[in-house]
Amino acid sequence: MSLRETTFSPDFKPQPYWWDASPQEASGETDPPRKTDILVIGAGYTGLHAAIETARAGLHTTVIDAEAAGWGCSTRNGGQVSTSVKPSFGALRKRYGENLAIAILREGQASLDHVTDFIRTEEIDCDFSVVGRFHGAHTARHYDILARECESRHPGFETGAYMVPRSEQRLELGTEAYYGGAVFPRHASVDPGKYHAGLLRVAREAGAGVVSHCAATDITRTATGFEVTTPAGRIRAGKVILATNGYTGNLAPWHRRRVIPIGSYVIATEEIPAALMDRLFPTNRILSDTRKLVYYYRPSPDRKRVLFGGRVSLAETDPKKSGPKLHAELVRLFPELSDTRLSHSWAGTVAFSFDTLAHCGEDRGLYHAMGYCGSGVGMAGYLGARIGRCAAGLDTDPGAFGKRRYQTRPFYTGSPWFLAPSVAFFRLRDRLGI
């Protein structure tokens, strides 16, 4: 039997599992207007949250997306909701000093509050649940690092986080692969497709026009603002919000030089027996580990499938090729899933930044929020809303993520030639437990 026959179920789909319940919109409103106060480019979490703010402020707001609204990361992600800040407090303090380090961490907490409050206030039915995260230590040394971080209780550290030693790990997760780990109780899970569909409804109800399949191909400054070219015609806009994240292309060369586009890959298994699910995932938490090339996984909201994501190839690849590799990693953690086949395998392009932090800001009416480094379910909406409020004139301060220089590197134009060697390097470090 070929690998393909053993790994994929007969009804396998090379597309996001979430699209089964929330299909992509075939077409939005037909044509964009000729003139708008605010033009948002990109209809993911960033763009829609920005548009809700500007539309509610009474500004004529139009959102365009090159594909179906939500086609990007916002309906492809793992549905893990966290504070989204990757560097530790120590690393941030060394780089920016104590005050900005604390401010950045507090913004991470605020992004978690923002998405939680937004989904509840707008009554979005998207399986949002504060289940907490178990973050597994892949070596004993990493357990100690996590424990020290947890004990330090520095300002900005997540309240209520605690360590789970290896002896008690089975209460969290049905694997022996970790050396214990940390629990972050405020982290949550969501169905990203349903969340995006609800967000789209709220944006339209707020008065924003959302036009799918309408790519911006050029942005030109004019005396009164901007002129943006699309296949459906030119749009004159007072202000433009760039919400293209990992899909930022030649349209915005300055931003493109600051975005490192990286593929992230996810699989969903076919349905597994309830008793097996309860044994492997007794707490229903979202899960990740301390590797540099992190694996992130969770039960599906109905607890019938396992969703497992990560980076398994040096270069970008086809989800049909990444699927079996992710499956092999899943089975290494949970040997009981060796005969379980895959129902879905997909990928999306996230945006890393050179300082591994998100960025937002403005240049004479051209706003941006991007660079969530693979962790933007909470942060994208939060920074989108912040930047939307700035564009609407309701706020002047974009917050801690707008206070650092958005770095690039000499000769970098947006194609990360260094990706394959970096992945190989981090893979080696993970294997050596460094």
Ligand X SMILES: Cc1cc2nc3c(=O)[nH]c(=O)nc-3n(C[C@H](O)[C@H](O)[C@H](O)COP(=O)(O)OP(=O)(O)OC[C@H]3O[C@@H](n4cnc5c(N)ncnc54)[C@H](O)[C@@H]3O)c2cc1C
Which residues of the chain form contacts with ligand X (CB under 6 A)? 41-47, 64-67, 71-74, 76-80, 82, 84, 215-216, 243-247, 249, 251, 264, 266, 296, 309, 348, 350, 370, 372, 374-377, 380
94/13 Cα distance (integer angstroms): 46
Give least dist CB 344 to ligand X, A. Answer: 11
Give least dist CB 168 to ligand X, A. Answer: 25
Give least dist CB 415 to ligand X, A. Answer: 16
Q: Is the dihedral of CA 367, 371, 372, 374 positive or negative?
A: positive
In this complex, which beta carbon is closest to ligand X, that of residue 179 or of residue 181?
181
In this complex, which beta carbon is closest to ligand X, that of residue 93 or of residue 119?
119
In this complex, which beta carbon is closest to ligand X, that of residue 39 or of residue 182?
39
101/110 Cα distance (integer angstroms): 14
322/311 Cα distance (integer angstroms): 8
212/224 Cα distance (integer angstroms): 26
In this complex, which beta carbon is closest to ligand X, that of residue 7 or of residue 230?
230
13/385 Cα distance (integer angstroms): 34
In this complex, which beta carbon is closest to ligand X, that of residue 76 or of residue 359?
76
Cα separations (Å) of 408 from 247, 398, 418?
Answer: 17, 20, 14
**Nearby residues of 36 by Cβ (< 8 Å), 6 or more positions away:** 60, 61, 62, 209, 235, 236, 237, 238
281/179 Cα distance (integer angstroms): 17
In this complex, which beta carbon is closest to ligand X, that of residue 156 or of residue 376?
376
**Number of residues that this document lists for the chain:** 434
Give least dist CB 349 to ligand X, A. Answer: 6
Greatest pairwise CA separation for the chain in angstroms:
67
Give least dist CB 430 to ligand X, A. Answer: 19
Give least dist CB 434 to ligand X, A. Answer: 25
**Bridging pattern class, strands 218-221 and 226-230:** antiparallel
In this complex, which beta carbon is closest to ligand X, that of residue 66 or of residue 385?
66
Burial (0-12, 13-18, 19+ Cβ within 10 Å), 238: middle
CA-nearest of 80, 327, 53, 34 to 184 is 80
Give least dist CB 199 to ligand X, A. Answer: 10
In this complex, which beta carbon is closest to ligand X, that of residue 93 or of residue 191?
191
DSSP state at residue 20: H
In this complex, which beta carbon is closest to ligand X, that of residue 116 or of residue 139?
116
Give least dist CB 381 to ligand X, A. Answer: 8
What's the chain's Rg over C-alpha atoms?
21
Which amino acid is residue 300, in one-letter code?
S
Give least dist CB 191 to ligand X, A. Answer: 11
